């Protein structure tokens, strides 16, 4: 069985995976409401305004690492004859922890003060928001696997 990295970073699929990831992020941000939703939308707007294609470039940069840290969860799903959607939904905390481990490290090294500042402001609620996105992420992965 191929690894998640092999599937998602395959040159034949990679550009579509990046596009789908960006659409997933946009949908998750759009779905946020309340005061915390306004903060997320404002932060995301600031990040998108850094330069055209900033989010797409960030997704492309993070994709190999995200696929690597999600692969054990993906393999667990396959071993249990479950879809990524089912497994990621049931283990959203583990999905969030794996992804935030990568983004925390990237944020520490970030040179762009706008991106770094937005991340730091939103980090307190990040786990909850990434957990909420886990089912949608699982569906996207199922599309390619």
List pLDDT tens digits, range 49-61.
887 898 999 999 9
Q: How many domains does the structure of the chain reveal?
A: 1
Mean pLDDT, rounded, of the chain? 93
Instruction: Output the pTM of the full model.
Output: 0.88
The 10s digit of each residue's pLDDT in 94-109 is 999 999 999 999 998 8
Question: Which residue segment(s) compose the domain that 58 sits in?
Answer: 4-144
pLDDT at res. 36: 87
The burial of 40, by beta-carbon neighbours within 10 Å (0-12 exposed, 13-18 middle, 19 or more buried), is given as buried
The 10s digit of each residue's pLDDT in 62-101 is 999 999 999 999 999 999 999 999 999 999 999 999 999 9
User: What is the rounded CA–CA span in Å between residue 90 and residue 111?
Assistant: 35
Between 110 and 26, the higher pLDDT residue: 26
């Amino acid at each position: 069985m191929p690894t998640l990295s092999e599937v998602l970073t395959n040159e034949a699929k990679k550009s579509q995976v990046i596009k789908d990831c960006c659409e997933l992020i946009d949908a998750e941000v759009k779905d946020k409401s309340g005061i915390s939703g306004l903060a997320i939308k404002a932060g995301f707007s600031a990040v998108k305004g850094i330069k055209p294609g900033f989010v797409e470039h960030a997704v492309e940069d993070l994709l190999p690492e995200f696929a690597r840290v999600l692969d054990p969860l993906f393999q667990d799903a396959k071993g249990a004859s479950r879809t990524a959607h089912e497994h990621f939904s049931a283990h959203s905390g583990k999905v969030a922890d794996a992804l935030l481990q990568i983004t925390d490290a990237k944020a520490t090294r970030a040179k762009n003060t706008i991106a770094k500042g937005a991340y730091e402001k939103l980090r307190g609620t990040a786990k909850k928001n990434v957990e909420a996105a886990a089912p949608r992420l699982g569906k996207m992965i199922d599309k390619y696997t």
